[in-house]
Each structure stands twice: as C-alpha cells, then as structure tokens.
Structure 1
Amino acid sequence: MTFKPAELEHFPGYYIRRLQQIAVAVFADETQAWGVTPVQFAALSAIMRQPGVDQRTLARLIGFDASTIGSVLDRLEARGLVTRSGSPKDRRVRLLHVTEEGVSLLKNAEPAVLKAQQRILEPLTPERRAQFMDLITFLIKENDELARAPSSGFPKEA
C-alpha cells in the first residue's frame, strides 16, 4: 500500500503560516526606513501604553516567548529606543520605558504600519475585513492557551 499524505491546501495552519509570511513581508516593505520588526514594534507600542512594565509581563502582552523577549529588548536598548531599570520591589525584575527616540520612531513609523495592515486586507471588501478580523480574533482567543507564548491581551469571554 502506498501512503499518500493529505494535501496542504486543506490545512488551515498552512494558510495561516503563509498569511503570516505575507504580513511580515508587507510590514518590512512599509517600515524599512525605520528598521523595525513587527515584534519590536509591538514591544515598543506595548511599553509605551504601559510604562514601567516588566519583561515577563511584556512578553505576555504581545504573545511572545518570555525566554527570548530579552534579545528583542537588547536590540531596542542598543538602538536607544528603550531603557531597562531595576524594580524597587524586586532586584531581579527589569522595568521598561520607551525613550524619546523610541517615541519618535513609534510616531513616525505608525502611518507605515497602518498602511501595511491595510495592504494585507486590501483584497477584501470592508464587510469581509470586519468578518475576517472577528473570526481570527475569536480563533486566537479560544486557542490562546495552546500557544507556546499565550497572550494576556486576549482574555476569553465568559
């Protein structure tokens, strides 16, 4: 008997991975002038919204692996975009703040980031864009605990 594998074209994970590749490529195309990755932008944005957040909480906020968020922050700190300071409550905890340079990058790059998001959804009608966002948000919320890096940004609804 000859084994015939299932066709990838029937796997939602295959399409999700492909869409993620497209999203990263479009993001890079639109934001190349600022030299920032999607994860770096997410980290800067989250720190800006919650100044003084610690690294572990930041990782949960953006759904990123806590063991590797430090290397993302190392690159942001080396560029002068964030600072890390000790916590007065726990010496092991590092608190994060966006520098003026980081604020400037966020402010200047945001229109390009928003354009990237629009480009990704451009083939869809406005109604289908809303439907897509509802469905993808639902799937992430319902399956978040299965992620290697669950996000605290998507609590399940009661």
Structure 2
Amino acid sequence: MYYDLIIEVIDLIKIYEQESEPYHQDPYLFGQWLNEYYQKKGHPTIPEPEWDGKVNGRSADSVINTSLVHLYKYARLHAKAAIANTSFSTPDEFIYLISLVSFGSMSKTALIRLNIHEKSAGMQIVNRLISNGLVEQAALDSDKRNRMIHITAKGTQLLNESMQNIRIASMKVTEPLSHQEKMDLIRLLTKLENFHEEKTRGQL
C-alpha cells in the first residue's frame, strides 16, 4: 500500500481543515484547494492554456478582458433575438424587470446601480419602462422626494411571456459548458464581481 502517500494526504487534510470554512467537506472543493496549494508551492498542477499571441507576449489579462467583451456581445445578440416581436426595446429593459422581481421594489438610484449603469443611461431605461406601463413609481410616506420603482401587472405579464425565450438565450451563452464547469465559472466570476463592486462603490 502507499503508506507514505496516505500519510501525506492526511497531513494535507489537516492543513485544509485549518484554512477552509467549517463544514466544507466536499471532495471537489478539497481538490480545488489542493490545486491552489501546490500552485502556491511552485508546483503547477494544470498546464497553462495556449492563446493567440502568447508567444509574442500577449498577457493572460488581455485574453480574459477580450473574452469578457466578446461574450458580452454574444450574450446581447442572443438577448435581442429573445425579445424580438415583444414590447421590449432593449435587453436592459427586461433585465431591469427581472431585478425588480428578484429583489423587490427599490429606488431608481438603487435599480440603476444594481445593473451597473451610469445614471443618465439608467434613467432612460427606467423612463421607457414607466412610459410603457411596465413599472410605476410611488413616493415614500417618509420621504416624498424618494420614489420607489415597482413592476406592474402588465410588466409581470410581459416578463412571464418572454421568460422561456430569455432562458433559452441564457442557455445558448453557456451551451458548451458542463454543469461542473458552470459552477467553476460562477465562482471565478463572483470573485471578480465582488472585487470590482468593492472598488467602484460610490462611483456609479
């Protein structure tokens, strides 16, 4: 038997137990941690991918930024196809409605900030939704100047009628990925989003 290997694995589990959050006894998470642990020790566990321009010095940061921009454009194309022949003018409009359904009524400022828009662009989207009767605004009793936005029955109906096409569009963007790859990507994207949200807080 591989006694030395078993002893080494037990020692690694002890380190993992000290560094990980409680109750993270998932073998897959341990495997991820193990990869990161050996990488920190200077032992690459997964070969680096190849990309265009790598031999000429193109950085990983450049590739990631370009891919994110391209994927955003592909996602917009699928989203536009999903809302064809509906009352939505742009994908941002149904995203705003989904935000209101998911998080409840909120101020214009909060809704715009949630969707990472500059104030002027966000106000245009909100005003279109109001003029089309998809959302409405109401002043708070405690502060008449602060208006809350909430989705209307008409907005809910339109969103429900469009959701199947929207789901299909979302699936097309991630179509080639396995379930586990999607989970890995969510972890990485969440890490990036949380970092930038903290850095840009108060700027939007």
TM-score range, shorter chain: 0.7 to 0.9
Superposed CA offset, 1:47-105 (max 9, x none): 23444411112123333333432111111111110111222222321111211110101
- Partner of 2:173 in structure 1? 120
Q: What is aligned with 1:63? A: 116
CA distance in 2, matches of 1:49, 1:86: 21
Aligned residue identity for 1:63: I
Partner of 2:3: none
**Aligned residue in 1 for 2:186:** 133
* Count of matched residue pairs: 148
Task: Give the number of the structure whose alpha-carbon radius of gyration is greater.
Answer: 2
Matched, 1:73 2:73: no
2:102 is equivalent to residue 31 of structure 1? no
Query: What is the alpha-carbon distance in structure 2 between the residues aligned to residue 44 and residue 149 of structure 1?
Result: 23
Q: Secondary structure, in 3 states, of the residue corresponding to 1:34?
A: coil
Residue number in structure 2 paired with 1:154: none
Secondary structure, counterpart of 1:83 in structure 2: strand
TM-score by length of 2: 0.62
> Quick one: distance in 2 between partners of 1:45 and 1:29?
18
Residues 100, 150 of structure 2: 8 Å contact kept? yes
Cα RMSD of the aligned pairs, angstroms, is 2.8
The superposition leaves residues 27-65 of structure 1 with CA deviations (integer Å, 9 ceiling, x where unpaired) of 111221324333211211222344441111212333333
2: CA distance, partners of 1:51 / 1:125: 32
Contact residue 144 and residue 150 of structure 1 kept, 8 A:
no
Q: Percent same amino acid among aligned pairs?
A: 22
Q: 1:109 aligns with which of 162, 165, 186?
A: 162
Q: RCO greater where, 1 or 2, for CA within 8 Å and sep 6 or more?
A: 1
Q: In the TM superposition, what is the alpha-carbon distance from 1:9 to its structure 2 partner?
A: 9.3
Structure 2 counterpart of 1:131, one-letter code: D
SS of 1:122's partner is coil
Aligned AA for 2:179?
P
Determine the C-alpha separation between the residues in 1 that align with 2:113 and 2:104.
Answer: 15
Pair 1:93–1:137, CA change in 2 (3 A): same
Cα separation, 1, equivalents of 2:100 and 2:164? 19
Cα 1:49/1:12, change in 2 over 3 Å: closer
Q: Secondary structure at the match of 1:134?
A: helix
Query: TM-score normalised to the size of structure 1?
Result: 0.78
Unaligned runs of 5+ in 2: 1-55
